[in-house]
Amino acid sequence: MSSIEDRVKKIVVEQLGVEEAQVTSDASFIDDLGADSLDTVELVMALEEEFDCEIPDEEAEKIATLAQAVAYINANME
Amino acid sequence: MLTGKIALVTGASRGIGKAIALDLVANGAVVIGTATSESGAQAITDYIAAAGGKGKGMALNVIDPEQIASVMSAMTAEFGAPTILVNNAGITRDNLLMRMKDDEWDDIIQTNLSSVYRMSKACVRGMMKAKQGRIINIASVVGVMGNAGQTNYAAAKAGIIGFAKSLAREVGSRGITVNTVAPGFIDTDMTRNLPDEQRVALTQQIPLSRLGAPEDIAKAVTFLASDGGAYITGQTINVNGGMVMV
């Protein structure tokens, strides 16, 4: 079973069409990985699907990096 | 042409919405039509079955967010998420501005404009996942040219056109198109309420010298929903017999 970080990273790579090496913990999806605002909405949708949860809009807006996504999932999953 | 596509049509129990639902069904789509009452929903189920098509009617008041959520989850569970949304539901509450009541204004904005926002928001997620989608709004020639006694209706219908243009820009990169069909005067219950002399006067302003049929609108909607409409987005298709040319 892969770690939460690996699962999130895989989604970021797929959704944003970037190389895995670019997806460092603190790389900003928008500033560093070239995502636009619609990409970040889709990314959150993909995370919700992968982890079978619902991320409220006000929380989703705070998820701008891999580390923040992983922290959110860790804090809100069993 | 639309075989297996899931289409959601609001306000489908009669008039233009019914013609749209039937034309989509005739082209192979699975159609879920909504009506405000259970009897309206049953009527939709019946005419789809009579046409030998797939789909059903569901009761939905388009101004109620909770009902929208429950209809969306019920339809997604039974048929799948829609990739075609036709925002057709609409009402009139005509009055001169100086006599207009706040509730006449608010009802029209809620039912004719806010519903388009709510329904589109509810459906666009599934369309983004599917990387395809067609949102088709039914506005009105009145939203384009204005009409005395319909400040509320014209504002809502013009609002739909601006909404469609903006959403088209937001989601175009995901293969989703958003367009508006603006019917002229169509022979439905809504226009049958007009006085005879007004109907005659109207006809004289229409180069094709007749009121439109609901099917005239339905054909334009089906075209936009089909592969033929793939490269059309953010547009307003005026189907009005030439009454207004823009």
Query: Confidence class of residue A9 from pLDDT cuts 50, 70 and 90?
Result: very high
pLDDT per residue rounded down to tens, chain B (246 residues): 899 999 999 999 999 999 999 999 999 999 999 999 999 999 999 999 999 999 999 999 999 999 999 999 999 999 999 999 999 999 999 999 999 999 999 999 999 999 999 999 999 999 999 999 999 999 999 999 999 999 999 999 999 999 999 999 999 999 999 999 999 999 988 788 888 888 888 899 999 999 999 999 999 999 999 999 999 999 999 999 999 998
- List the structure tokens of B176: 């989703």
Among residues B58, B79, B82, B54, the alpha carbon closest in space to that of B70 is found at B58
The CA distance from B118 to B64, in Å, is: 9
Output DSSP code: residue B86. Answer: E
User: According to the model, what pLDDT value does residue A14 have?
Assistant: 93
Report the residue of A36, A38, A55 to disrupt the B interface, i.e. the one with the largest count of B CBs within 10 Å. A38
Note whether A45 contacts B125, CB cutoff 8 Å.
Answer: yes
- Which chain A residues are within 8 Å of B128, Cβ to Cβ? 41-42, 45
8 A C-beta contact, residue B8 and residue B85 = yes
CB of B168 less than 8 A from some CB of A = no
pLDDT of residue B196: 85
Is-catalytic flag, A36?
A: yes
In order, the DSSP letters of B224-236 are: HHSGGGTT--S-E
3-state class of B59 per DSSP?
Answer: strand
A50 contacts chain B (CB < 8 A): no
Whether residue A1 has pLDDT greater than 60 = no
Q: Quote the minimal CA–CA distance from A8 to chain B in Å.
A: 18
Annotated catalytic residue within A36, A39, A52, A57: A36
> In terms of C-beta density within 10 A (0-12 exposed, 13-18 middle, 19 or more buried), how is residue B190 classed?
middle
Say if residues A47 and A55 touch (Cβ distance below 8 Å). Answer: yes
* A38 in reach of chain B (CB within 8 A): yes
Confidence of residue A78 (pLDDT cuts 50, 70, 90): low
Amino acid of residue A49: E
- A57 contact B CB<8A: no
**A1 vs chain B: nearest CA distance in angstroms?**
26
Quote the tokens at residue B128.
């983004």
The answer to whether residues B92 and B75 touch, using CB atoms and an 8 Å cutoff, is no
pLDDT band at A31 (very low <50, low <70, confident <90, very high): very high
Whether B171 sits inside 8 A of A38 (CB atoms) is yes
Residue B174, min C-alpha distance to chain A (Å): 9
Alpha carbon distances (Å) from B73 to B55, B66, B82, B168, B176: 15, 11, 11, 25, 21
CA angle B91, B96, B100 (to 5 degrees): 70
Determine how many CB atoms are found less than 10 A away from the CB of residue B226: 17
Mean pLDDT for the stretch of residues A16-43: 93
- Residues of B identified as active-site: 153
pLDDT band at A38 (very low <50, low <70, confident <90, very high): very high
Report long-range pairs for B122-126 (Cβ below 8 Å, ≥24 apart): B122/B68, B122/B69, B122/B72, B123/B8, B123/B72, B123/B81, B123/B82, B123/B85, B124/B167, B124/B171, B124/B176, B125/A45, B125/B81, B126/B76, B126/B81, B126/B82, B126/B83
Looking at beta carbons, which residues of chain B come within 8 Å of A42? 128, 174
Residue among B115, B113, B112, B104 nearest B65 (CA): B115
